Structure 1
Amino acid sequence: MQPLKDQKYYQSMVWPELQIEKKEDHLLFRHPTKLETISSAVYGGGWNQVSKFVNWKVPIDYSSTDPTKLMAQKLAEWGYPVADSLGLQTAAFLHIASIQEMVGDEFRILCCVTAGVGNAARAGKKRKTYSAYQIGTINTFIFIDSSLSHSAMVNGIITATEAKAAALQDLNISDEDGDIATGTTTDSVVLAVSQNNVRYPTHQYAGVATTIGNAIASLVYDATHEVIRNL
């Protein structure tokens, strides 16, 4: 839809209950009730239920032997309830974050992507690897007001990842060897669902041929494409 740029608040057109605020060094997403999540978040990752989501732009000289502990400390410092929060970290610019949203077949979706491609990489090829933790570079948040089975939530992560890779391919983003990248070495993704099964029937699948999967893919593709174009 549009980059955040100089906006402090973003008012969703499809899901006004989901509030988005750009702070000095992080983005804050909050919902009045807890959402069910599956994510690779450094803090609160895996399966979880939270109502606050943070994308923290770490300092350029960032270094931590325990990033999970540091993330918890930052959440507390900002005044967010640590047990009810999820946190990602990035070195990418926040002001060019792209937000895309859609109302579709028994769902409302908002997607936000921040990105940098300085460490672009192609999955599946042999490369130098590291055992140490590094901060996320393409961070993807997908918020869904609907009801999804757990299988569909995992399927949604797959669909989002494929869409991110497609955007990088179409933008000709390459790795250090000149091969088309599928992501960066440090990406993170969050999929958060309201699980409102009173208002919505439960989506059992979220592949690209389903209405909800196609929406996830389209929004992630457009957001990734836009934010990288604006780097």
Structure 2
Amino acid sequence: MTQPFRNEDIYRSTALDWITVTYQPDHLHFCSTKKLETISSAVWGGGFGYADAIVNWKVPLTYRAADPQSMMRDQLLTWGYTPERTIGLMTAAKLTHAAFSEDEGDAFRLLACTTAGTGNAARAGKVARTYPAYQCGTINTVLMIEGCMSHAAMVNALMTAVEAKAAAMQDAEVYSATGELATGTTSDAIVLAVSQQGFAETHMFAGTATTIGDAIARHVYQTVFEAVRTQKEE
């Protein structure tokens, strides 16, 4: 577990030596030397696709936009990134407090990273009021995996990661506006990026009973808990 951007501007993954993450005051840039298969709920590049970069853009707490996709695309071009190969996230959380965790195991290696702001925390199934279509606060999680996964396993991995996020929120004792333990915020996003190479085996499942699912759950939990716990620190 580490929060490198409290002191450094570049994070070089040890588990995934083809990943470098760069800190800028207005965004984090995950750069891969490999083409990755992705599935995400990202504002830009969401759904299934392919990418070699992921950007987490820090926007003001007051941010509102009728067309966040167009704004994200324009900003990627401003930074000099290729929109067609980039996944774009937005957050109002502190990028300096991004929490990273890495692991390797049974035919996989992984990197998890989470940024967290919980001003609009909510409990799924108990949201008492609605919010604008894109309100910032947001827990953004990036999960990058060296290994091969079926599409079903990729979806399963997202389920496992979201379960871990909800558990971390509750253990961190984050409460919703209704006074109940929160399971997330109203605008969370997640990206899973898989190399689809590096090992002969293909993971067909990624629930908590599998080695890869167990690792995903533990490291997402750890990064969410740490990012949430430290979000108000300098």
Q: With structure 2 as the length reference, what TM-score do the two structures score?
A: 0.95
Match of 1:134 in 2: 135
The question of whether the paired residues in 2 share the 8 Å contact of 1:136 and 1:188 is answered with no
Give the Cα–Cα distance (whole angstroms) in 2 for the partners of residues 49 and 136 of structure 1. 27
SS at match of 1:37: strand
Unaligned runs of 5+ residues in structure 1 are none
The question of whether the paired residues in 2 share the 8 Å contact of 1:89 and 1:136 is answered with no
Give the Cα–Cα distance (whole angstroms) in 2 for the partners of residues 193 and 201 of structure 1. 14
Give the Cα–Cα distance (whole angstroms) in 1 for the partners of residues 85 and 51 of structure 2. 5
For residues 44-84 of structure 1, give each alpha carbon's deviation from its aligned partner in whole angstroms, at most 9, with x where no partner exists: 00001000100000134423211000000000000001111
Q: With structure 1 as the length reference, what TM-score do the two structures score?
A: 0.96
Unaligned runs of 5+ residues in structure 2 are none
Match of 2:66 in 1: 65
Give the Cα–Cα distance (whole angstroms) in 1 for the partners of residues 78 and 62 of structure 2. 19
Give the Cα–Cα distance (whole angstroms) in 2 for the partners of residues 178 and 127 of structure 1. 11
Matched, 1:110 2:108: no
Identity of aligned residues (%): 50
Match of 1:124 in 2: 125
Q: Which amino acid aligns with 2:176?
A: D
Match of 2:227 in 1: 227
Give the Cα–Cα distance (whole angstroms) in 1 for the partners of residues 137 and 152 of structure 2. 25
SS at match of 1:228: helix
The question of whether the paired residues in 2 share the 8 Å contact of 1:107 and 1:200 is answered with no
Match of 1:200 in 2: 200
Aligned residues: 230
Taking the TM superposition and a 5 Å limit, the aligned residue runs for 1:3-14 are 3-4=3-4, 5-14=6-15
Q: Which amino acid aligns with 1:166?
A: A
The question of whether the paired residues in 1 share the 8 Å contact of 2:112 and 2:143 is answered with yes
For residues 149-191 of structure 1, give each alpha carbon's deviation from its aligned partner in whole angstroms, at most 9, with x where no partner exists: 0000000000000000000111111101210100001100000
